[in-house]
Structure 1
Amino acid sequence: MRSERQSWLLPAVLLAVMVTAAGGLLARDLYAESTPIVQQPVVPSETPVPRSEQPGSRAVEGTEDAVRHPMYETVRQLLQTHFDAINGRNYERWMTTVTSAHIKSRPEPDWRAAYRSTQDGSVVVYRIESGPPDQARVMLGFVSTQDVADAPPELPEECIQWHVIYALAVENGAWRIDAGATGASPQHEAC
């Protein structure tokens, strides 16, 4: 009786080991493929993107200083979603990138009017500064193109280079762009 039990035990153990090994190899390959690619830092160019190609690339990039910050990938993804929402005229998606205070300061009709012809690109994160817990600031630049009628009244241009500082705050467990004085007075000039 005992030899019958042992005769099937060895093949069963070998089968379990082979299945486990195959599963481990498969998992290793899957994880290797899903490992995020570390973005190479950019060196901001003094040569502007040609006027016909403005606002430039839609991809959010970072300088070496920004890319080395531990929050960089979180900030990059947040800003990518934010600018994609603006470029796609998607208010619902935009709301996922900003705090409730920011949403209250920019209701949908105002948001749609402000961004009706805007296209943003050439977004570069220059610096990320962590602050008190659940707060940070991000210094970035980007280019916007828009109808002159939709440009800021103080700079009625079709193409504007922006230099801004966004305040970030954690809300409901996620980083969001906050409303407030930090982003209220950006520097900007015609492209």
Structure 2
Amino acid sequence: MTAMPAPPAAPPRWLVPVVIVVVSIMVGGGLLARELYRLPEAVPDTILAESTTNRPLAQQPGPDTVELTPDAAAHPRSEVVRTLLQTYYDSINHRDYELWRTVVTRERIQAKPRSTWLDDYGSTRDGSILVYRINPVSDAELRVLVGFTSTQNAEDAPPELPEPCVHWRLVLPLALESGAWKIDAVTGSTTPELSRC
């Protein structure tokens, strides 16, 4: 007579509550992450208007301090981004190529040697700088939607809008390079929005 196989052992009593707790934490964490990193609604027109158009032409480009919308300020890397952009715009406003090199990627430095950079930004002054949102792409990449105003000689203005005062909205790519966040080269896939002051 063959022996009957033993019935399967019942799972330990503690296993079911542990599984429930683990699943609950995972679901809660997923919902929290979705809220933290969800794409925000479009930037309200009132924010755009306040940041650019209420200033007389003689007072353009406005203050050179980088500011953040509440949405951008809520991002975990908001202070890193703000400091990085502040240095970037300060370098342009003070014609400091060496300072600019500290906040951009090697690829961007290679694309703009000192002579090209000084030629491009020779008369440029940037202000009314507002970060609208910060979107993560990966652990080593961010996309920053920023608006600002530039004043310059018309010949130094963008070729598509040769004006002495231009409002810009563009997406700046940020990349982690050698352990530090840097502003990466802007690819052709992102087209800035330009308008006359």
**Shared topology, TM-score over 0.5?**
yes
Provide closer, same or farther for how the CA distance between residues 129 and 170 of structure 1 changes in structure 2, counting only shifts above 3 A.
Answer: same
Aligned to 2:151: 145
CA RMSD of aligned residues (A): 1.4
State the AA in 2 paired with 1:94. W
Instruction: Give the direction of change, closer, same or farther, for the CA distance of 1:162–1:183 in structure 2 (3 Å limit).
Output: farther
* Superposition pairs of residues 70-109 of structure 1, within 5 angstroms: 70-109=76-115
Indicate conservation of the 8 Å contact 1:165/1:183, yes or no. no
* SS state at 2:84 partner: helix
Task: Name the structure 2 match of 1:18.
Answer: none
Give the TM-score of the pair, scaled to structure 1: 0.75
* C-alpha separation in 2, matches of 1:104 and 1:184: 20
- Pair 1:44 & 2:50 matched: no
Which structure 1 residue ranges, 4+ long, deviate > 2 Å from structure 2?
182-185
Partner Cα distance (2:49, 2:110) in 1: 37
- Name the count of aligned residue pairs: 149
> Which of the two has greater helix per residue?
1
Q: 1:5-50 CA distances to partner (integer Å, 9 max, x unpaired)?
A: xxxxxxxxxxxxxxxxxxxxxxxxxxxxxxxxxxxxxx72525111
Q: Aligned residue for 1:167?
A: 173
Among 130, 135, 144, the residue aligned to 1:129:
135
Cα distance in 1 for partners of 2:141, 2:60 equals 32
Name the structure 1 match of 2:38: none
Unaligned runs of 5+ in 2: 1-45
C-alpha displacement of 1:132: 1.1
Identity of aligned residues (%): 46
Residue identity in the other structure for 1:95: R
- Maintained 8 Å contact 1:60/1:125: yes
Q: TM-score, normalised by structure 2?
A: 0.73
Contact 1:125 1:140 in 2 (8 A): yes
Aligned counterparts of 1:113 and 1:45: Cα–Cα separation in 2: 30
